[in-house]
Amino acid sequence: MSSLLFSPLTIGKLELANRIVVAPMCQYMASDGVPADWHLVHLGQFAQSGPGLILVEATGVEAEGRITPACTGLYSDASEAAFARIIDFCRSVGESKIGIQLSHAGRKGSTRKPWEGAGQISLAEGGWKTGAPSNEPYLEGWEPPSEIDHYGLDRIKAAFVDATRRAARAGFDLIEVHAAHGYLLHQFLSPISNRRKDAYGGSLENRMRFPLEVFDAVRQAFPADRPVILRLSATDWIEGGWDLVQSVEFAKALKKAGCEMIHVSSGGLDQRQEIVAGPGYQVRFADEIKWQAETATLAVGQITDPVQAETILLSGQADAVALARGMLWDPRWVWHAAKELGAEVQLPAPYARCNPAMRGKPFITRS
């Protein structure tokens, strides 16, 4: 019996060779938004292993949209050229499609790298004034963000469009709009962080308005034959916050706007969250959104075992699976999964001899 994990998947008009996705993982190794050799090696190692799709980390659409000063951005010619170089290399060693997660950090921006304490960087230390739907700080003691006015909303939307056009020129196959993990678009969705009194706050329809406007602008700016998907936190894990019921309604609206898949995550908005974590702990959210909103979903969250991943797909809970930390720990996860599930996998020619499944057989290689 063939493995569903290693069967092709079509997202819009884009065909993936298999249903394994490398989830976006911040590296905090860029300079003024420009990805460096670290990113070439980081992403290139996954391309050598052959997942269906590799998603580049959360990338700020403007300098103030980055999480840290060391995060990637797509707002300059230098960054666009650097990403084009990385894409060219990835395509030279494998068949993986390459996507980018476009993001704006909102009130969670201007912070230090995690290994430097992750605290907020003040203006005096070289940080920047953050903006958000409301002037509610992310953590107690942090400088409150400015409430973004309508001119600011237009500026940010235009920044998403500019980054989208740069992504298209650089050669990305897909864009993922980041509306999860407590960043700006998630901040608009959740009633915890969105206390606005205008057309962008209050009711669910109003709170969805700006994220939908951004998604529509990105969809219109990206070539029609390349898909746009969205990363969503299905719940804040806080009573009275953003939840699964609202996520389903948002997913329905996104589908009407041309969204080809929902990448289902959770949490990240507020430190009061009470997450019940464990293997595949977010898969049930992907399952509910898939069937209630009648849309394709990508499941993520402590998916580490090939049989676990195969079971998620066979049970119809999601259309593809994404791995983050599991891929960092084992960049050859795709090869090992193929061996365990009895699937045939092609290795780059210089590595073909290491495939234990091919001992005593002719090499199956990528030239």
* Domains of the chain, start order: 9-366 (3.20.20.70)
Q: What is the pTM of this model?
A: 0.95
Tokens (6 digits) for 271: 């430190």
183 is catalytic: yes
Mean pLDDT of 100-119: 96
Active-site choice (75, 138, 183, 200) = 183
Q: What is the token pair recorded at 172?
A: 């990305």
Specify whether the backbone of 267 is left (phi greater than 0), alpha (psi in -120 to 50) or beta. left
Model confidence over 153-175: pLDDT tens digits? Answer: 999 999 999 999 999 999 999 99
Q: In the structure encoding, which two tokens stand for residue 296, read together?
A: 């394709």
Note the pLDDT tens digit of each residue in 23-36.
999 999 999 999 99
pLDDT tier at 362, thresholds 50, 70, 90: very low
**Banded pLDDT at 356 (limits 50, 70, 90):** confident
- Rounded to whole angstroms, how far apart are CA atoms 263 and 292? 15
Residue 230's DSSP bridge partners are 177, 262
Say if residue 247's pLDDT is above 50.
yes
Strand residue runs (E) in the chain: 9-11, 14-16, 20-22, 53-60, 97-103, 131-132, 146-147, 174-179, 228-233, 262-265, 297-300, 320-323, 347-348, 365-366
Is the per-residue pLDDT at 352 higher than 90?
A: no
Residues 6+ apart with CB under 8 A from 77: none
Contact between residue 20 and residue 47 where contact means Cβ atoms under 8 Å apart:
no
Q: Please give the Cα distance from 70 to 101 (Å, whole number).
A: 16
pLDDT digits (tens, 9 = 90+) for 50-104: 999 999 999 999 999 999 999 999 999 999 999 999 999 999 999 999 999 999 9
**Band of residue 278 on the pLDDT scale cut at 50, 70, 90:** confident
CA distance 165 to 163: 5
Q: What is the pLDDT of residue 2?
A: 85
Please name the residues in contact with 102: beta carbons below 8 A apart, sequence gap of 6 or more. Answer: 59, 61, 74, 160, 163, 164, 167, 175, 176, 177, 178, 218
Rounded Cα–Cα distance for residues 63 and 69 (Å): 8
pLDDT at 363: 42
CA–CA distance, 177 with 204 (Å, rounded to integer): 19
pLDDT digits (tens, 9 = 90+) for 199-241: 999 999 999 999 999 999 999 999 999 999 999 999 999 999 9
Mean pLDDT of the chain: 95
pLDDT at 259: 98
Q: What mean pLDDT do residues 270-296 have?
A: 93
CA atoms within 13 A on the CB side of 350: 4
Please write the tens of the pLDDT for every residue from 131-153. 999 999 999 999 999 999 999 99
C-alpha angle 163-186-63 in degrees, rounded to nearest 5: 35
Task: Identify the pLDDT of residue 74.
Answer: 98
pLDDT, greater one: 118 or 324:
324
